[in-house]
A and B are shown apart, each in its own frame.
Chain A
Amino acid sequence: MRNRHVLSGRAAALAIENLDTDQIMPKQFLHGIDKSGLDRGLLYDLRFDAAGQPRPDFVLNRPERAGTSVLVGGANFGCGSSREHAVWGLQQYGIEAVIAPSFGEIFYSNAMNNQLLLVMLPEVDIAALMADAERLETCEVLIDIAALRVRSASVDAGFRLSERHQRMQLEGLDVIGLSLTYAESIKAFAQSHWQQQPWLRDVASTTFARLRCP
């Protein structure tokens, strides 16, 4: 459940370090030209066996875990490929927040741009959250985005989010729209930039034209 300031839900632990975006969203699900259908691909090899049958031992497949909306992961969660499909897939599956000791950098930006909440906590808190998430009775997590606090059965910890990212989480900024208000400054910047470094101007188009007509 998520309202403007508070997100709460049941958490599941994925005790995997460096869980890369290839695993979060495998290659065979990257062939769309839109964002649809990615819930099927989420963590596919962990969720399904080679024959496509759900792996009963995997936490998200247990019937009592239906409705999981928070993942507690290992360090460097979302490292590797820049594919934003990983973020879209998590959200389409119903994941609203991921809590981990650290995140891959591109994944972090992608998540912020989609209002997928990412919470970084020290290893010791992550270990406690994972232990809480193991048991159904203690798997409930509450994340206060305004107060920047996480609470579970045994954890009550503050976390950090840059002011900008906090606003993006709370208000859902139209980042492109805001940047477009700088359109005139960008044009002026480009003119001056190219005056100083003319070898940086139109490199793509002029190189391409040169290669076409050698």
Chain B
Amino acid sequence: MTARTLYRKLVDAHTVATLDAQNVLLFCDLHLMNEYTSPQAFAGLHEKARGVAMPEQNVAVVSHVIPTEPGVIRVIRDAAPALQASNLKRNCERHGIPLFDTNDALQGIEHVIAPEHGMIRPGMVVICGDSHTTTYGALGALGFGIGTSEVEHVLATQTLVYRLAKDMRIQVDGTLPVGTTAKDLVLMIIGKIGAQGARGHVIEFTGSAFEGLTVEARFTVCNMAVEAGARGALMAPDARAIAYVLQRAPDIAGDVRAAALRHWATLHSDEGAAFHVEHRFDASEVAPHVTWGTSPDQVIAIDGTIPRPQEQGAGPLRRSTEQALAYTGLTPGASLQGTPIQHVFIGSCTNARIEDLRAVAEVVRGRHVAAGVRAMVVPGSGAVKQQAESEGIAELLQQAGFEWREPGCSMCLAMNGDILEAGVRCASTTNRNFEGRQGRGAITHLMSPAMAAAAAVTGNITDVRRLEPCHA
């Protein structure tokens, strides 16, 4: 038998039928839905009098439009998003699909709640009408985002017509230096391979650098693989990943557990498996990274300098650098350090898990949000929020001047009213610095939770490694 990549093993194990040389009918183990990319899919089903094939394999959550203002009862005030939430509820009730509704104590961002409750398991195919579904590669599950037509297809058939991707391997060995995180690593990788560097490929991340990461940190890496254009991201499940799943999935017990462990041990690329593209990086060279432009690959190490368009030839690269700098209002050749920020956003499916909030608390302890800065923390889920409150993180951050809010996607994409004014510069732990994403004319600088915390307490983009020790 020929040596196969982990990606090919997962595709083969889910292929119901081969449709042609490029497409298979792919069985989907778990389908997650939200309130804004599913309504037209349900409507399409209803129009054609089609049912949901396997409702037990589907779950929904109100995540994108939900307000995050602190409060006991959450009310979506605007009529249109309120209708999206009630419509989702109606659709879920009609078809027997479980729903984490607006006021569910466990409500949160899809990609935070699914793994934290043990719903993501090695070897799964997981899809969702949300591009950051690549997150689940961290547990050896093939996750990827789909559009609404495909949501309808999955509802009707529990399968997808799936175009095969190519294999890419990104090997990173070594240990991340003190003060750097998985976010810095993935931003560095995106900077090096580009916003379409992995287009058409599923990335398998291998090497000691990833082995050394916690599962939550691995989520951050796989989550942002889509920002390099990847159609999926994978990490072979190791003891740490398996322990994470078993702790959260009590139904995997006894003989089933033994069988699962045997199966999961096969979830790795075979010796000699061929990859279409391979990259290698050294973790020891990673520094804190911050974006300067309007695409996640427009990123530099904090001790680097902003590119000069005139050094980038005469083609599209130069044009996009000029366009980005015109929007972000930064000076070519300058450093990002010391750039004043007015807003800090700690949140999103990339960096709003408990470890992210602990990292923020560690930097903030004994310090206060700088004058003139508004700093928000939006935990990734109700469970993360409760955990942070029980650890005293919420209290510490609030006393330091942060707003402690309710869970949701919030200002990552600003669909819920958490939106920035034009000209506001934001240090953000999110995944996209696109023009206008956090608000028309607002400027997003992507960075790690620790770096965002350092920006909050200094009021500037700051190298967290150079913060003066604090003895408060």
Known: A45-B440, A207-B117. A176 touches B123 (CB 8 A): no
Closest Cβ of chain A to B281, distance in Å, is 22
Task: Please determine whether A113 and B252 come into contact, CB atoms closer than 8 angstroms.
Answer: no
The prevalent SS among residues of B at the interface is: loop
CA distance A30 to B38 in the complex (A): 11
Question: For chain B residues 1-58, which have a beta carbon within 8 Å of chain A?
Answer: 13-14, 16-17, 19-20, 22-23, 25, 27, 29-31, 36-37, 39-40, 43, 48, 50, 53-58
CA distance A185 to B229 in the complex (A): 33
Task: Give the residues in chain B near A180, CB-CB below 8 Å.
Answer: 50, 156-157
Which residue on chain B has the smallest CB distance to residue A26? B436
Task: Please determine whether B57 and A74 come into contact, CB atoms closer than 8 angstroms.
Answer: no
Task: Check B435 for interface membership: any CB of A closer than 8 A.
Answer: yes
CA distance A189 to B28 in the complex (A): 11
Task: Give the residues in chain A near B340, CB-CB below 8 Å.
Answer: none
Task: Please determine whether B251 and A175 come into contact, CB atoms closer than 8 angstroms.
Answer: no
Q: Which of A55-63, A78-86, A146-154 contacts B (4 or more CB under 8 A)?
A: A78-86
Task: Please determine whether A114 and B199 come into contact, CB atoms closer than 8 angstroms.
Answer: no
Which residue on chain A has the smallest CB distance to residue B415? A27
Which residue on chain A has the smallest CB distance to residue B431? A80
CA distance A210 to B59 in the complex (A): 14
Task: Please determine whether A176 and B50 come into contact, CB atoms closer than 8 angstroms.
Answer: yes
Which residue on chain B has the smallest CB distance to residue A162? B22
Task: Check A3 for interface membership: any CB of B closer than 8 A.
Answer: no
> What number of A residues sit within 8 Å (CB to CB) of B?
67
Task: Please determine whether B434 and A202 come into contact, CB atoms closer than 8 angstroms.
Answer: no
Task: Give the residues in chain B near A1, CB-CB below 8 Å.
Answer: none
Task: Check A213 for interface membership: any CB of B closer than 8 A.
Answer: no
Task: Please determine whether A202 and B263 come into contact, CB atoms closer than 8 angstroms.
Answer: no
Task: Please determine whether B80 and A16 come into contact, CB atoms closer than 8 angstroms.
Answer: no
Q: Which of A64-72, A89-97, A98-106, A131-139 contacts B (4 or more CB under 8 A)?
A: A98-106
Task: Please determine whether B435 and A82 come into contact, CB atoms closer than 8 angstroms.
Answer: no
Task: Give the residues in chain A near B199, CB-CB below 8 Å.
Answer: 76, 102, 104-105
Task: Please determine whether A113 and B150 come into contact, CB atoms closer than 8 angstroms.
Answer: yes
Known: A79-B196, A113-B147, A162-B22. A186 touches B84 (CB 8 A): no
Task: Check A171 for interface membership: any CB of B closer than 8 A.
Answer: no
Binary CB contact string for chain B from 75 to 101 against chain A (1 if under 8 A, 0 otherwise): 000101101100100000000011000
Which residue on chain B has the smallest CB distance to residue A27? B415
Task: Check B149 for interface membership: any CB of A closer than 8 A.
Answer: yes
Chain A to chain B contacts (Cβ below 8 Å), 7 pairs: A22-B434, A82-B131, A84-B40, A84-B148, A109-B147, A200-B29, A200-B121
Contacts A50-B422, A82-B131 supplied; 11 other A-B pairs, CB < 8 Å: A20-B437, A22-B413, A23-B434, A27-B419, A33-B43, A34-B39, A82-B129, A82-B145, A104-B199, A197-B263, A204-B119
Spell out A's residues near B (CB within 8 Å): 15-18, 20, 22-23, 26-27, 30-35, 45, 50, 74-76, 79-84, 87, 102, 104-107, 109-110, 113-114, 123, 162-164, 175-176, 179-180, 182-183, 185-186, 189-190, 193, 196-211
Of all A-B residue pairs in the complex, the 4 with the closest CB atoms, nearest first, are A208-B98, A110-B147, A113-B149, A31-B80
Spell out B's residues near A (CB within 8 Å): 13-14, 16-17, 19-20, 22-23, 25, 27, 29-31, 36-37, 39-40, 43, 48, 50, 53-59, 64-65, 78, 80-81, 83-84, 87, 97-98, 106, 117-119, 121, 123-124, 129-131, 145-150, 152-153, 156-159, 161, 163, 195-196, 199-200, 229, 231, 249-252, 256, 259-260, 263, 295, 315-317, 319-320, 323, 413-415, 419, 422, 432, 434-437, 440-441
